[in-house]
Structure 1
Amino acid sequence: MLLPVKDMAGNQIGELEVSDLVFGAPINRPLMHQALVRQLSNARLGTHKTKTRGEVSGGGRKPWRQKGTGRARQGSIRAPHWVGGGTVFGPRPRKYIKDMPKKMHRAALRSALSVKASAGQIVVLDQLTMEQPKTKAMVALLEALGLNGQRVLLVLPEKDEVVQLSARNLPEVKSLLSGYLNIRDLLGYDVLLMTREAVAHVEEWLGADVAGQSTAAVAEAEE
């Protein structure tokens, strides 16, 4: 698969051949959904809590005697049916962590990248350098690339404080290191803006296990 390569002025200066194992993989939508649900679930804190009748303050005394008042018998004013009483079956602190094998997680990322590539939503930059952190410079870059007004995920191969600070104040732009690529950001942003080095790192990371499986399959077929 070939992806167009542009410079910072927005001019196409060539094409980059990327691995079909990563950017042209079979699209597995149920797997992408499972990975997204897992990531959203793992992000939950699970600190919600309500008080039961044993945790609400007060109510240690029987409100009135058992018989002779004409009213229904009551043992505590903090019973669940009283105003200010405890809560029955309310939320308790818990963990929402879901597990997923690494191979499944990487396959979901490959599916998401393939969706972006097939839709023409991946822009590759030959290089991305800025002398000083300026939001105006990042806005000018996005306008030159025709990405103004779109939600852009900027993927960098390594930490670049100048570029990251330039994009930080733009609400529709998020900078992310290629090693932290995740399914929620891939599906949540309109365009993926990557440098050559970031593409190479993603291919090395996500294509290793698939390449190994392909090599083993070829060896078995030759035997």
Structure 2
Amino acid sequence: MLADVYNLSGQKVGQVDLPDSIFNAPINVSLMHQAYVRQMANARLGTHDTKTRHEVSGGGRKPWRQKGTGRARQGSIRAAQWKGGGRVHTPHPHKYTLAMPRKMRRAALRSALSVKAAEQAIVLVDELALPEPRTRLMAQALNALVGDASTLILLPQKASYENVILSTRNLPDTKTLLASYLNIRDLLTFDKVIMPVAALDVITSYLGR
């Protein structure tokens, strides 16, 4: 699959061959959904907690004697039916993590990349470099490449792209991400994906197997 390569001014400067095994793979919607649910579930902290009647302070003494008062028997003023008492059937800390084999996760990424490629939502650039960290310069480049669409920028490494990373921090609906950290949520969240040709090599190195 041939794809056009552009410069930061939006001018076509060449073409590159996208591997069909990654960008023209069978699209499995259910697999992408499973990978997305897994990623969102694994992001949950699971630290929410409520106190039971044994954790609420006070209530150690029986409020009144068992019989002879005409009132319902009570053992503690910290029981669930009392104001300020403990809670029942409420959240407690636990893990939400879901497991998914690596082959399935990578197949889901291939499906998502194939969807983006079919929608012509992948924009390749010959080199993504800025002379200085300026939001204005990055905004001009994005406007020339994708217009006002939300954009995920994939970088091959962090070392030589500090200016790009700094220049996108104040841009709405724009995110920079290392190509080795590519994930299903970001692929499905953003409208367009911009990557230099060097980032394509990183993706091919682990998804092309």
The residue type equivalent to 1:153 in the other structure is: L
Assess if the C-alpha contact under 8 Å between 1:5 and 1:16 holds in 2.
yes
Hey, which bits of structure 1, 4+ residues long, moved more than 4 A?
A: none
Q: 3-state SS of the aligned residue for 1:168?
A: coil
Render the CA deviation track for 1:95-124: whole Å, top value 9, x for unaligned.
Answer: 111111111111000000000000010000
Q: For the residues of structure 2 that align with 1:188 and 1:13, how far apart are their CA atoms?
A: 28
Taking structure 2 as the reference length, what is the TM-score of the superposition?
0.97
The residue type equivalent to 1:178 in the other structure is: A
Assess if the C-alpha contact under 8 Å between 1:139 and 1:148 holds in 2.
no
Q: For the residues of structure 2 that align with 1:85 and 1:22, how far apart are their CA atoms?
A: 57
Render the CA deviation track for 1:45-103: whole Å, top value 9, x for unaligned.
Answer: 01011100000011111111212221111111111111111111211111111111111
Partner residue in 2 for 1:80: 80
Q: For the residues of structure 2 that align with 1:28 and 1:68, how far apart are their CA atoms?
A: 70
Q: For the residues of structure 2 that align with 1:31 and 1:20, how far apart are their CA atoms?
A: 19
Instruction: Say what the alpha-carbon RMSD is for the aligned residues.
Output: 0.9
The answer on 1:60 being equivalent to 2:60 is yes
Aligned pairs (5 A) from 1:103-114: 103-114=103-114
Q: For the residues of structure 1 that align with 2:18 and 2:148, how far apart are their CA atoms?
A: 27
Render the CA deviation track for 1:121-172: whole Å, top value 9, x for unaligned.
Answer: 0000011111111101110101111x23211000010112111000111121
Q: For the residues of structure 2 that align with 1:62 and 1:111, how far apart are their CA atoms?
A: 63
Taking structure 1 as the reference length, what is the TM-score of the superposition?
0.91
Partner residue in 2 for 1:98: 98
The residue type equivalent to 2:148 in the other structure is: G
Q: For the residues of structure 1 that align with 2:178 and 2:185, how far apart are their CA atoms?
A: 14
Q: For the residues of structure 1 that align with 2:148 and 2:143, how far apart are their CA atoms?
A: 9
The residue type equivalent to 2:34 in the other structure is: Q
Partner residue in 2 for 1:152: 151
Q: For the residues of structure 2 that align with 1:143 and 1:21, how far apart are their CA atoms?
A: 30
The residue type equivalent to 1:186 in the other structure is: L
Render the CA deviation track for 1:1-38: whole Å, top value 9, x for unaligned.
Answer: 11111111111122211100000000011000000000
Amino-acid identity (%): 57
The residue type equivalent to 1:52 in the other structure is: T
The residue type equivalent to 1:40 in the other structure is: M
The residue type equivalent to 2:129 in the other structure is: T
Partner residue in 2 for 1:187: 188
Worse overlay, 18-27 or 82-91: 82-91
Q: Which 5+ residue runs of structure 1 have no aligned equivalent?
A: 209-223
Q: Which has the higher helix share?
A: 1
Q: For the residues of structure 2 that align with 1:121 and 1:133, how far apart are their CA atoms?
A: 26
The residue type equivalent to 1:56 in the other structure is: V
Partner residue in 2 for 1:207: 208
Q: For the residues of structure 2 that align with 1:172 and 1:73, how far apart are their CA atoms?
A: 60
Q: For the residues of structure 2 that align with 1:86 and 1:207, how far apart are their CA atoms?
A: 55
Aligned pairs (5 A) from 1:122-137: 122-137=122-137
Q: 3-state SS of the aligned residue for 2:127?
A: coil
Partner residue in 2 for 1:212: none
Worse overlay, 148-157 or 107-116: 148-157
